Chains A and B, each alone.
Chain A
Amino acid sequence: MTIELVNITKRYGSTVVLNGITQKIEDGEFFVVLGPSGAGKTTLLKVIAGIERPDSGKIIVDGKDITNLPPEKRNIAMVFQSYALYPNMNVHDNIAFPLKMRHYPKDEIERRVQHVAKLLNITDILYKNVTQISGGQQQRVALARAIVRDPAFFLLDEPLSNLDARMRAIARGELKRIHMELKKTFVYVTHDQKEAMSMATRIAVLHNGVFEQVGTPLELYERPTTKWVAQFIGDYPMNFLPGEVVGEEGFEVGFRPEWVEVGRGNLKCQVYSLEVVGELRYLMCDYGESSIILLSREPYNVGDTVAFEVTRYNLYRDGRLVER
């Protein structure tokens, strides 16, 4: 199902959280809303879910305006950051709850619960209390409860943020697999750009209440349209230097750490710190007043002076990408 957000605005008192968001989310897309904490990501999800009402704007799902429908009539599934499992029910009853509320027949409920339990590998904990299972299991139960019925689309609010790093990687793959299996629209909120980059069909970067840029992970990485996005996306922020270094007067030049050739060229900087990843080295350097990060295969040490050349770059003026 397609979801269209039309000029969604939401204020809390005098704080504008969402400032006129307009965006179409395509059918079957894994759409990630990425932004720093406090950017209003969860508010946006709650508006789409119907838990919060927008101050203005419309939400249209498959051509139907659902802005004024209460959440229980929207036929959506949502996984909260806290998982929001019902502590008074066991795993089985948690998963069965949305079906029970929609008056599915008993044997149908049983069949579906068993099916998703198998899909998510939680069959053996079905009759355990939700407070007695691990964080990873709780996350699966929450996910199982979301996929057990046929919702119009899925909303996921940082569902992996409460897992440890290893579990997170596994759950990420699992989520992708489920998305491909169900072929449904997912709207996924996170502050973790790594997570966004590895899962999304498209990413929307939420900043100052608007989508600053919407695009595929590669587009966002290679051609960020603003300096802010350029520095937010990527394991390391994009480097920015005056245009003179590449002979482009009046611009700012932005380049990724790997868009350089180290050990040759006539630009020079001094290493003040470094990070080793396998056989790669990220050199944090001082270049005049600015600090830049360069990727190098050669071993360098703190205090070394490094010669480098920028081989690929974007041009920015007033913080915005200049199309060439």
Chain B
Amino acid sequence: MRASRALIYVAAGLLSALFLFPLYTLILIAFQPPKYTLIPTYPPLVPKELTLANLVAALSGTAFIDPFLKSVETATLVGLITLALAIPAGYGLSRLPSRLSYPVLVLILLTNIMPGVIIGIPIAVQFIRAGLYETVVGLALAQTLVTLPLATLILQGTFSAIPRDLEHQAMIDGANLFNRLRYVLLPNSAPGIAAAYLISWMFSWDEFTYAILLMPYHSTLPVTIYTDITRGNLLAGAAFSVVFTVPVIILTYGLQRYLKGQYISGGLKGAA
């Protein structure tokens, strides 16, 4: 029993190391002078000398601050639009018999088959006409195309997991639809809602294709970091990439008490 437990920890440790190694090298590059990172053929894997110079260089220009704010705005907007649409959609689907809701869910997910590059261009054309080109709202709407199906699936699963009796009880207790949502349905689906918001937010946070097509000039962080790195500003880019992960960590930490593995079960119940 104890041995198998230890084995699980070892396996978990190895897996985490595998996933975290790229992040570790990123941190090495970001906080060390280039003579230990970019210049040697075999850079050392343990930090030799720490410096904040790269970060200072990255933060001293406005080059990264504007895109950072733009990314925050876009991601937050994507999260909110997604929830506003996916909550009613997920609720409606959860109350349909599964022989109806399942095909609909599959159909919704199929919309993500189309590569973003292909639909991004016609969207750009339409957005130029509609005045949404180069705007946060426009980009957020386009990114919602991808997040909405996922969020709908998650929330469908979440709402399905809430017993019908609970809703019936609320009706009998005199709650109208609005109050049922406010006091019973939404509070009890907080984990699913948090997961749906988080997944939408994070998707938008590092989304690249729509960002470069719909907001090519003053774009979000992923696009800006990309252009910077291709222009050779590798150190500042690395330093800022580290900063780039901070909001994701904060958000995940803040929402984790709602998660508790429900994100996965929420998704699976939707398919069942």
Contacts and interface: CB of A to CB of B under 8 A. Distances in A.
A78 B170 CA distance: 10
Contacts of B262: none
B32 to A, nearest CB: 49
B168 interface: yes
Contacts of B245: none
A72 B184 CA distance: 15
B188 A88 contact: yes
B111 interface: no
B233 interface: no
A82 B166 CA distance: 9
Contacts of A71: 168, 171-172
A277 interface: no
B169 A101 contact: no
Interface in B130-170: 163, 165-166, 168-170
Given A98-B174, A101-B173, A84 B179 contact: no
A251 interface: no
A49 B168 contact: yes
Contacts of B173: 72, 97-98, 101, 145
Contacts of B184: 86, 88
A101 B169 CA distance: 12
A89 B169 CA distance: 14
A221 to B, nearest CB: 33
Contacts, number: 59
B183 A84 contact: no
A72 B187 contact: no
Interface residues of A, number: 25
Interface string A254-296: 0000000000000000000000000000000000000000000
B80 interface: no
A46 B171 CA distance: 12
A51 B171 contact: yes
Nearest to A71: B171
Contact of A72 (B166, B175, B183): B175
Query: In terms of DSSP, what is the predominant structure of the interface of chain B?
Result: helix
A87 interface: yes
A72 B174 contact: yes
Contacts of A77: 172
Contacts of B176: 72
A61 to B, nearest CB: 14
B41 to A, nearest CB: 59
A197 B17 CA distance: 67
B46 to A, nearest CB: 48
Given A84-B163, A87-B188, A88-B187, A102 B174 contact: yes
A75 to B, nearest CB: 8
A49 B184 CA distance: 19
Contacts of B175: 72, 97, 101
A76 interface: yes
Interface in A89-108: 89, 97-98, 101-102
A76 B175 CA distance: 13
Contacts of B165: 80-82, 84
A49 B168 CA distance: 9
Contacts of B170: 86, 97
B188 A78 contact: no
Tell which of B165, B170, B174, B175 has the most Cβ of chain A within 10 Å.
Answer: B174
A80 B163 CA distance: 12
A46 B179 CA distance: 21
Contacts of B179: 101
Contact of B169 (A50, A74, A75, A78): A78
A70 interface: yes
Contacts of A78: 168-169, 172
Nearest to B184: A86
A97 B174 CA distance: 9
Q: Which of B166, B169, B175, B188 has the most CB of A within 10 A?
A: B169
Contact of A84 (B169, B174, B187): B169
B172 A49 contact: yes
Given A84-B163, A101-B175, A145-B173, A46 B168 contact: yes
Contact of A76 (B163, B172, B187, B188): B172
Given A49-B168, A51-B168, A87-B188, A82 B163 contact: yes
A208 to B, nearest CB: 26
B238 to A, nearest CB: 44
- Nearest 10 CB-CB pairs, A to B? A84-B169, A101-B174, A98-B173, A88-B187, A71-B171, A84-B165, A80-B165, A78-B172, A51-B168, A72-B174
30 contacts: A49-B168, A49-B172, A51-B171, A70-B171, A71-B168, A71-B171, A71-B172, A72-B171, A72-B172, A72-B175, A77-B172, A78-B168, A82-B165, A84-B163, A84-B166, A84-B168, A86-B166, A86-B169, A86-B183, A86-B188, A87-B188, A89-B183, A97-B170, A97-B173, A97-B175, A97-B183, A98-B174, A101-B173, A102-B174, A145-B173
Given A76-B172, A97-B173, 14 more contacts: A51-B168, A51-B172, A72-B172, A78-B172, A80-B165, A80-B168, A86-B169, A86-B183, A87-B188, A88-B184, A88-B187, A88-B188, A97-B175, A101-B175
